[in-house]
């Protein structure tokens, strides 16, 4: 009972202003439960792609869903643990391991890179996403501007969280790893009454990373309530409170492009520095009203408050002797507040024998971000024979002091037209009006802009038979540029145009599926150098052309598999300082992954599963100017589990089996981030 009281007490603080219609005259609404798709790697539906419940075979875009089954097989604890098994995803600079940053089809996902239940989830400053609260990750390839607004054209990740269930369940899991990992989670759900269900997820974790000198801790509490108000109305309340205590670990020093010069566990900040403190508090409320069998209304609100704060020693440059590293003591605080409101109406109807699924909606949001950074004078260190413990100079220089505010108002409409059982059309349009202001107290400047954008998308799907579909689609997206030109005017936003065609396949039982896709994306108004030194113009252009293939599901009753391959030609096509054809930093031209697991029953009862995975990332440009490269790499992993009985499961995973030294990403010319060394992780999961 204590966990239920905790869930209730935490959720009463969630901001909510929702109206209801007390119409109880219709037949009883069926109980709304969101259940895990444990038996398959190949889910058949995804709301994220269209904001409606549409079979994926009818959606004219590539969508890859990683659900509970694969999260458990991978032993994934972060969003970052899943991206190697999705085509076209590359790892970018993650700000020393303190947030998520990936390239989707060559384009960074930092701003609107991911959504949480359809709400903005990555604006502001956010710790890396934990899987303790996640039901599934929906990787939505291609532009999302027509339904979600400002975004990169490569794609968006929608994170669907675990929802309360009226059937009681309590699951505890403990993990121990050879790299010092210790992790425990609890997932509890059940009914509080005939109409109210709760869910409570709790996580605590600590462990070392690439060096014994670095250590981190994370804690998470996530309560949720579902209230079936009447036969047609459901209210969901969710909160998540995450605290992280972590070093800012950008990796090892890149010595003039000669990698492997330093061991991967070399630390060149001050191990005596306190860790950074990261926090993220999120509250969401959604009210869904079924107006009739064919029409529904949904309204929702989201509020997220986050903070990134602490002192740390950071490198600034490598001296000409190639061994003296210049460093500064740094203090920073980066708080943010993000509020979003949504309302949408969905209806199904027919006109002249043609079926329609119509979606219309409106959104409004407000974001505030503050950045304060203080730095000290230089106090260097020798990268080959480091001596720690030097007294840092005082923090005397304020290098950054800014306040940024963004406001967005938007309306959108989408129609999914069923011309016949074989032909499906999709058309959508969104209008955004956004304002942005930036006060820079160091430079003593204030800039403000108000702009608008219209983003359409359209697609056609042809289903020649029950097991395949072919589609073509086109769409546009936009994203604001920061700063002003030489005349003090706001830059035009970045604008993108994307074309995509694909083929989706499924076995008759739906347990094995594949998606093949080709795409061509062009982004314009990218900032590049002006003819006047120190200023920029919105005249750059980037292009990404590629091919992707994903295969996921059950081969037979013993084998399940997930495989992916991507060719991504992501290059600069127009820039003032970079040559045309320069590859985008950290984006490989070729990448691939494969995970295969065989499972069967044991003679004495129970089940077992054993499998292996392999990931490949091709050579990548190390910086924007492409003056050095990150080498290609291949890593292997082993996975295995023993389902001891109906309630107990023991898993053992071996990561980086060959203990390969490799580099997953870089930060400019100075840092490269090594991949983790070989580790063994054991997990015990018990249904209480």
51-55, 101-105, 219-223 — which one is most confidently predicted on average? Answer: 219-223
d(CA 323, CA 318): 7
pLDDT at 448: 87
**Has domain 2-19+30-687 been given CATH number 2.60.40.1190?**
no
pLDDT at 32: 38
pLDDT at 491: 77
Handedness of CA 32, 36, 64, 589 (dihedral sign): positive
Domain ranges of the chain: 2-19+30-687
d(CA 78, CA 685): 18
pLDDT digits (tens, 9 = 90+) for 208-234: 778 888 999 999 999 999 999 999 999
Mean pLDDT of 48-60: 93
Q: What is the DSSP letter of 262?
A: S
d(CA 142, CA 159): 17
Residue 97: which of 677, 682, 674 has the closest Cα?
674
Q: Which residue has the tokens 């203990």?
A: 659
pLDDT digits (tens, 9 = 90+) for 272-329: 888 999 999 999 999 999 999 999 999 999 999 999 999 999 999 999 999 999 999 9
Mean pLDDT of the chain: 90
pLDDT at 443: 87
Beta bridge partners of 302: 284, 340
Lowest mean pLDDT among 105-119, 216-230, 250-264: 105-119
pLDDT band (50, 70, 90) for residue 5:
very low
d(CA 623, CA 583): 9
Q: What is the DSSP letter of 80?
A: G
Q: What is the DSSP letter of 98?
A: T
pLDDT at 24: 36
> How open is the CA angle 501-504-505, to the nearest 5 degrees?
155
pLDDT digits (tens, 9 = 90+) for 163-222: 999 999 999 999 999 989 999 999 999 999 999 999 999 999 998 778 888 999 999 999
Identify which has the larger pLDDT, 45 or 673: 673
Strand pairing of 196-208 and 633-643? unpaired
Strand pairing of 295-318 and 324-333? antiparallel
d(CA 344, CA 327): 51
Lowest mean pLDDT among 59-68, 113-122, 517-526: 113-122
pLDDT at 271: 87
Residue 349 exposed, middle or buried by CB count within 10 Å (0-12, 13-18, 19+): exposed
Mean pLDDT of 643-669: 94
The whole-model pTM stands at 0.91
pLDDT at 375: 96
Mean pLDDT of 523-543: 77
Residue 382 to residues 327, 329, 387, 670, Cα–Cα distance (Å): 11, 16, 7, 15
Residue 78 to residues 17, 99, 565, Cα–Cα distance (Å): 33, 11, 22
pLDDT at 36: 36
Residue 77 has pLDDT above 50, yes or no: yes
Residue 380 to residues 262, 275, 314, 325, 439, Cα–Cα distance (Å): 17, 20, 10, 5, 33
């Amino acid at each position: 009972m204590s966990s239920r009281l905790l869930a209730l007490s935490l959720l009463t603080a969630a901001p909510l202003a929702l109206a209801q219609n007390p119409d109880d005259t219709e037949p009883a609404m069926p109980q709304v439960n969101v259940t895990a798709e444990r038996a398959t790697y190949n889910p058949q539906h995804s709301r994220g792609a269209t904001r409606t419940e549409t079979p994926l075979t009818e959606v004219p875009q590539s969508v890859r869903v990683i659900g509970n089954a694969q999260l458990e097989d991978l032993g994934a604890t972060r969003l970052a643990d899943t991206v190697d098994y999705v085509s076209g995803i590359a790892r970018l600079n993650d700000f020393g391991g303190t947030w998520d940053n990936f390239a989707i089809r060559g384009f960074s996902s930092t701003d609107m890179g991911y959504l949480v239940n359809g709400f903005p989830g990555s604006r502001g400053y956010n710790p890396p996403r934990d899987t303790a609260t996640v039901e599934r990750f929906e990787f939505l390839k291609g532009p999302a501007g027509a339904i979600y607004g400002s975004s990169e054209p490569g794609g968006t990740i929608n994170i669907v969280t675990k929802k309360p269930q009226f059937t009681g369940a309590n699951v505890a899991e403990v993990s121990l790893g050879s790299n010092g990992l210790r992790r425990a989670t609890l997932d509890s759900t059940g009914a509080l009454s005939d109409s109210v269900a709760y869910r409570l997820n709790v996580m605590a974790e600590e462990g070392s990373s690439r060096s014994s000198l670095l250590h981190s801790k994370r804690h998470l509490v996530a309560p949720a309530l579902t209230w079936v108000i009447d036969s047609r109305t459901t209210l969901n309340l969710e909160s998540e409170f995450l605290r992280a205590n972590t070093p800012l670990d950008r990796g090892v020093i890149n010595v003039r492009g000669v990698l492997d010069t330093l061991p991967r566990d070399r630390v060149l900040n001050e191990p005596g520095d306190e860790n950074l403190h990261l926090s993220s508090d999120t509250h969401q409320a959604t009210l869904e009203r079924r107006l009739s069998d064919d029409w529904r209304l949904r309204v929702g609100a989201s509020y997220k408050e986050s903070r990134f704060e602490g002192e740390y020693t950071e490198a600034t440059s490598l001296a000409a002797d190639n061994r003296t590293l210049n460093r500064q003591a740094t203090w920073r605080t980066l708080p943010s507040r993000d509020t979003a409101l949504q309302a949408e109406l969905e209806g199904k109807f027919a006109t002249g024998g043609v079926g329609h699924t119509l979606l219309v909606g409106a959104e409004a949001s407000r974001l505030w971000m503050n950045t304060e950074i203080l730095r000290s004078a230089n106090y260097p260190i020798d990268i080959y024979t480091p001596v720690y413990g030097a007294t840092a100079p005082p923090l005397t220089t304020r290098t950054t002091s800014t306040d940024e505010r963004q406001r967005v108002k938007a309306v959108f409409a989408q129609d999914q037209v069923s011309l016949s059982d074989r032909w499906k059309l999709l058309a959508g349009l969104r209008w955004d009006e956004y304002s942005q202001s930036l006060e820079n107290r160091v430079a003593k400047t204030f800039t403000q802009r108000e702009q608008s954008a219209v983003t359409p998308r359209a697609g056609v799907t042809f289903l020649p038979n029950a097991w395949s579909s072919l589609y073509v689609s086109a769409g546009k997206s936009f994203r604001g540029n920061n700063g002003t030109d030489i005349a003090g005017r706001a830059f035009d936003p970045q604008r993108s145009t994307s074309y995509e065609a694909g083929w989706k396949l499924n076995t008759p039982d739906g347990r094995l599926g594949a998606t093949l896709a080709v795409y061509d994306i062009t982004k314009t108004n990218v900032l590049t150098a002006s003819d006047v030194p120190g200023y920029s113009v919105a005249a750059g252009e980037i292009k990404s052309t590629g091919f992707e293939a994903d295969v996921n599901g059950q081969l037979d009753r013993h084998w399940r598999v997930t495989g992916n391959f991507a060719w991504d030609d992501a290059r600069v096509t127009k820039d003032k300082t970079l040559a045309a054809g320069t590859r985008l930093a950290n984006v490989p031209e070729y990448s691939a992954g494969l995970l295969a697991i065989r499972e069967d029953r044991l003679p004495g009862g129970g089940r077992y599963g054993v499998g292996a995975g392999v990931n490949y990332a091709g050579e990548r440009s190390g910086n924007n100017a492409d003056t050095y490269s990150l080498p290609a790499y291949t890593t292997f992993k082993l996975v295995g589990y023993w389902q001891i009985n109906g309630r107990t499961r023991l898993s053992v995973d071996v990561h980086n089996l060959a203990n390969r030294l490799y580099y997953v990403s870089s930060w400019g010319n100075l840092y490269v981030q090594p991949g983790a060394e070989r580790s063994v992780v054991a997990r015990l999961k018990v249904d209480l």
